[in-house]
Amino acid sequence: MADTPHDGVGTVLRLGATQYTVTNIVIQFTDPNADAEKIDVSHLGLTTGASILTQDRPLQGSVSDTGRTVQFDYLGKSIIADASTGTCSITVGGTALTGFSAVAFTVNASTLTLATNDAIRGQATLRLARV
């Protein structure tokens, strides 16, 4: 069978020393300084071919909004406490995912679902520190 180095088999997520049996991980990076976050101040006086003009918004994003989150689903009986902090590590096949070795996090949201004829499933969203 051909190797599929881009698949997620062998992925491990740890919060501190606790390893979770994860079934899904979504990592989102959003640049808070991206052009999409600026004000478009282009006007009709610009000539054809001119660049779109943007201007920084007068207010900055909150300090705690790093633009980086990890959302993951796991199997387990314990709910992860909201607002708890620690370090997050993700490894794939024993190798740390780039940028995900002991990254400081704060738990934004956490849910635990108990349903008939199913495993107990949890979901958490972590806000990562920008390093």
Q: Is 72 exposed, middle or buried (0-12, 13-18, 19+ CB in 10 A)?
A: buried
- Beta carbon of residue 40, minimum distance to other proteins (angstroms, whole number): 9
- Beta carbon of residue 55, minimum distance to other proteins (angstroms, whole number): 7
User: Is 48 or 116 the residue whose CB approaches other proteins more closely?
Assistant: 48
C-alpha–C-alpha distance, residues 7 and 34, integer Å: 29
User: Is 59 or 115 the residue whose CB approaches other proteins more closely?
Assistant: 59
User: Is 41 or 83 the residue whose CB approaches other proteins more closely?
Assistant: 41
- Beta carbon of residue 4, minimum distance to other proteins (angstroms, whole number): 45
- Beta carbon of residue 67, minimum distance to other proteins (angstroms, whole number): 17
C-alpha–C-alpha distance, residues 86 and 64, integer Å: 15
Instruction: List interacting residues with other proteins (CB under 8 A).
Output: 39, 41-48, 50, 55, 57-59
User: Is 46 or 81 the residue whose CB approaches other proteins more closely?
Assistant: 46
